[in-house]
Structure 1
Amino acid sequence: MSVPPLPTTGPGVTHGSGGEVARPARRDTRLDPYVDRYAARTHGMTASAIRALFSVANRPEVVSLAGGMPNIADLPLDVVGSTLADLVAQQGMRAMQYGSGQGEPMIREAICEVMRLEGVQAHPDDVTVTVGSQQALDLVTRIFCDPGDVVLCEAPSYVGALGVFRAFQCDVAHVAMDEQGLDPQALREAVTALRAAGRTVKFLYTIPNFHNPAGVTQSLERRTEILRVAEEADLLVVEDNPYGLLGFEGEPTPAIRSLDQDRVVYLGSFSKTFAPGFRVGWVLAPHAVREKLVLAQESATLCPPVFSQFAIAAYLANHDWRGQIKVFREMYRERRDALLAGLADHMPAGMSWTVPTGGFFVWATLPPGLDSHAMLPRAVTARVAYVPGTAFYADGFGSRYMRLSYCFPTPERLVEGTRRLGEVLQHEADMLATFGPALEGGSDRSLRPYEAPGANQA
């Protein structure tokens, strides 16, 4: 298996005097009077497909299977409220001041306790607190990547990560997945091919647990194989793990970081296991990398929000947070089961989907000839929303796929959403059977040179 080559010809792609690929020419609108003043890196900034859906998907009449918004209805808000009141009354002078660029010691100690649940042994000195794990990824990319460097990502991959890599003018090379996640042999071949072509590969970005968007999880054996390839290739691994404690079956799988402390940079977050509004994430990195992360953090924000750090540290110290995570797991399991039941009852023939064992997402494969991107306006008209698969690829593929989120709607709404979606898909399939594809042979965007993540055939 191999990764498709990165583009070297085509509109907007030019070559330098030495034959190297230069950055695409700018194509901004002249209606913007500042177009000639922007930095080259802004060329890669585009709106997230998920954010673009929010204004429509959040309307009450629409069943949104789109955004991965955690459901905090089962969070004990009375406990959180009293904790915050006590924090202001007793430690307000500290909690509302500037703080350390690395993060406050008490939250870094608590983070180490949280990571121990997945086998990670860490020292608080090697943890850098960030404004959510999204900023963690931004800082890691900032300190490692130059324009034109290559980042390896699963196919598909998290849309927010693709936006970060694009903003820093990196090229993304997708690597195939199967039912156990990233394919180690495909990874080996991708690194070999890219380096043979003279490309600089900076790191592998992977989501091993309950993948966003694919919903699959790397087995322990698969994680070991990926690390073996990384060692052979002298490749840094960036492990993004926001969902690792939200599994529905048994104990958490040991994190990749627990298997290798020197080659893995670990990203974590409290957004899924507590609440996203506090915006507290972290990076666990080798000591030398941590020094660079702190400098990057200080240049970006001076320090991460101190009040949020105190608030979460107080919550962890005074509440049964492990028990609360179990409550979240059961709640999300019920929602997953509702979505899967609705898909089984309402999807047309030829539809398939992954069956996640945790996390927030199902990755669905449409019947041949259907295009999730083109179909989205008709789905919204039918009062159901999803995210087209094209949002999760950097190379234009994915139109035959869609991400369905079960984390926020009630089970009843999820079943209703699948009913509405099934009607839209059946109508599209009937139109295709009657009139044929819009383009002879179908759209090239629906084809992709990747293996599909494991799927349950409807």
Structure 2
Amino acid sequence: MHTTDDPWQSRYATRTALMVPSEVRALFAVAARPEIISLAGGMPDVGALPTGVMADLVAALLTTHGKTALQYGTAQGDPSLRESICEVMSLEGVAADPDDVVVTVGSQQALDLVTRLFVDPGDTVVTEAPTYVTALAVFAAHQARVAQVEMDEEGVLPGALSETFARLAAQGRPAKLFYTIPTFHNPTGITMSARRRQEVLEVCRRARVLVLEDNPYGLLRYDGESLRPLRASAPDEVIYLGSFSKTLAPGLRVGWALAPPAVREKLVLAAESAMLSQSPLTQMTVDRYLRTQLWQAQLVETCTMYRSRRDAMLRALERYMPPGASWTVPQGGFFVWVSLPEPLDTKAMLDAAVAAGVAYVPGTGFYTGGRGRRELRLSFCYPTPEHVTEGVRRLAAVLQDAWEPLSAPHRIPVLSSR
């Protein structure tokens, strides 16, 4: 927390002023109150994880490989786990060599390391509008400028993306990276269509812009057919980020980056300078789980659980949302994006919502420049279906109090995979 009497205020680096709390993290203390139904944070329900099995795995690991598990590891990550990660990525059509995988402390660290490698202060990163709130915090911490490009129901608009790249190049500050979450996008839940993926790759290829593909939710599909990640079509032009935080457990803090060989070498050096090595214990635990348990069957059960929660949210939105509201219909992931009519302000209404016993994330956190005041993100992954329904009912009551109905409700369709 910032204080005005900080004796070191004049000594901080310039970038420190750009480090501000995210709107999601700031809500965690409020959302933890028992009377609040939190539709805010994208926390997975780890209750579905077989904790007894995990306890046995860790005990056996410490008994048989304790000296290795409790010792320093390598900056690139455990070789056996890197092989297992390649098996996981193959489920979505990504072919990879374990040598090109760098294990990180969650995919968040991978995002930070890639930004550190490519972005100097004042450089420009291009993202979707809106985009992942903590990605914006990472880019800000590295003193990057962010240019955001509009989306529709198929994902980021290729024409607008091309125009943005051209404008930045003409201004003498060409884009260093294009950061995208094409599958079950955070915060909108939209999935980039197969056609759009190829168009976006071609735009980035022509502009010689490296793609940073974040895919933490790809295996959490509830409807439709799987789409190949961007990395599967352009392995030399895409750095791919993955994580076990959504499919296994966030507390293990195991993610990874898959990068072209030259980039991978520099990522290893960056990881080594940042934290010397990841935890061998958590890496070996994840690897043992993947190699000894029926984790794909467990994942099917997890998707069934999340599907029921998503469906409960969509039904509740249909039932309770006042006229004039619209929302996305995600095929997977954790989030629904709600848009409200003028003159509603989701940031201004948050206190009233919390007083009514429900929390959400205002849309402003996902944009640069103060946009998003008529939008909000709802997460359905953590509350039970009953709590999801009640949370939406409470939110709708707050909205009803804030404005007179303006028009009939409608949904923004999300195209199914073809």
TM-score, reference length from structure 1: 0.88
Q: For residues 98-177 of structure 1, what are the structure 2 equivalents within 5 Å?
A: 98-177=72-151
> How far off its partner does 1:200 sit?
2.9
Distance in 1, matches of 2:78 and 2:197, equals 32
2:210 equivalent among 236, 239, 246: 236
Map 1:166-245 onto structure 2 (within 5 A): 166-245=140-219
CA contact (8 A) 1:247 1:329 kept: yes
Q: Partner residue of 1:86?
A: 60
Shift of 1:81: 1.5
Is 1:253 aligned to 2:227, yes or no? yes
Counterpart of 2:119 in structure 1: which amino acid?
Answer: C
Q: C-alpha deviations, 1:98-132, integer Å up to 9, x for none?
A: 00000010000000000001111110000000000
Q: Displacement, 1:455?
A: 5.0
Q: What is the aligned counterpart of 2:356 among 382, 389, 401? A: 382
Q: Alignment partner of 1:199: what SS?
A: coil
SS at match of 2:347: helix
CA deviations 1:403-449 (Å, max 9, x no partner) are: 0000000000000001100100000014x99xxxxxxxxxxxxxxxx
- Given residue 143 of structure 1, which amino acid in structure 2 is its aligned partner? L
Q: Does 1:303 align with 2:287?
A: no
Q: Does 2:310 match 1:336?
A: yes
SS of the equivalent of 1:373 reads coil
Residues 1:94 and 1:29: Cα distance change in structure 2 (over 3 Å)? closer
Q: Does 1:275 align with 2:249?
A: yes
Amino acid at match of 1:333: R
Residue 69 of structure 1 pairs with residue 61 of structure 2: no
Cα deviation, 1:168-209, whole Å, max 9, x if unaligned, reads 000110001000111111100100111111213101000011
CA contact (8 A) 1:145 1:170 kept: yes
Does the 8 Å contact 1:264/1:285 carry over to 2? Answer: yes
Which residue number in structure 2 is paired with residue 46 of structure 1? Answer: 20
Q: Secondary structure at the match of 2:179?
A: strand
Aligned position for 1:286: 260
Question: Structure 2 CA distance, aligned partners of 1:454 and 1:292?
Answer: 42
The answer (yes or no) to whether the contact 1:83–1:315 under 8 Å persists in 2 is yes
Is the 2:189–2:329 Cα contact (8 Å) retained in structure 1? yes
For the pair 1:373 / 2:373, whether they are aligned, the reply is no
Aligned mates of 1:260, 1:454 — CA distance in 2:
30
Q: Which runs of 5+ in 2 are unaligned?
A: none
Query: Post-superposition shift, 1:359?
Result: 0.1
Indicate conservation of the 8 Å contact 1:350/1:368, yes or no: no
8 Å CA contact retained: 1:115, 1:121: yes
Q: Which runs of 5+ in 1 are unaligned?
A: 1-27, 434-452
- Output the CA distance in 1 between the equivalents of 2:35 and 2:274: 40
Offset at residue 29 of structure 1 (A): 6.0
SS of the residue 2:48 aligns to: coil
Rounded to whole Å, the distance in 1 between the matches of 2:371 and 2:246 is 29
The code of the aligned residue for 1:420 comes to: R
- Counterpart-to-counterpart distance in 2, 1:454 and 1:262: 34
Q: Does structure 2 retain, via aligned residues, the 8 Å contact 1:130–1:280?
A: yes
Aligned twin of 1:315: 289
Q: Which residue of 2 aligns with 1:437?
A: none
The CA deviation at 1:69 is: 0.3
- After TM superposition, give the deviation of residue 249 of structure 1 in Å: 2.0
Q: Within 1, Cα distance between the matches of 2:49 and 2:226? A: 21
Note if 1:406 corresponds to 2:380: yes
Describe the SS at the equivalent of 2:348: helix
Question: Does 357-366 or 83-92 show the bigger shift?
Answer: 83-92
Quote how far apart the aligned CAs of 1:63 are.
0.5
Q: Matched residues in 1 for 2:150 and 2:144: separation?
A: 19
**Contact between 1:349 and 1:367, CA under 8 Å: does it hold in 2?**
no
Q: Aligned equivalents of 1:115 and 1:257: distance in 2?
A: 10
Give the corresponding residue for 2:402: 428
Mapped contact 2:224–2:331 kept (Cα < 8 A): no
Shift of 1:251: 4.1
Q: Is the 8 A contact 2:326 2:412 kept in 1?
A: no
Aligned to 1:359: 333
- Number of residue pairs matched by the alignment: 409
Q: What SS class does the counterpart of residue 403 from structure 1 fall into?
A: strand
Counterparts of 1:196 and 1:219, CA distance in 2:
30
Q: Which amino acid aligns with 2:280?
A: V
Measure the CA separation in 1 of the matches of 2:279 and 2:367.
32
Give the secondary-structure state (helix, strand or coil) at the position aligned to 1:298. Answer: helix
For 2:176, give the aligned amino acid.
K
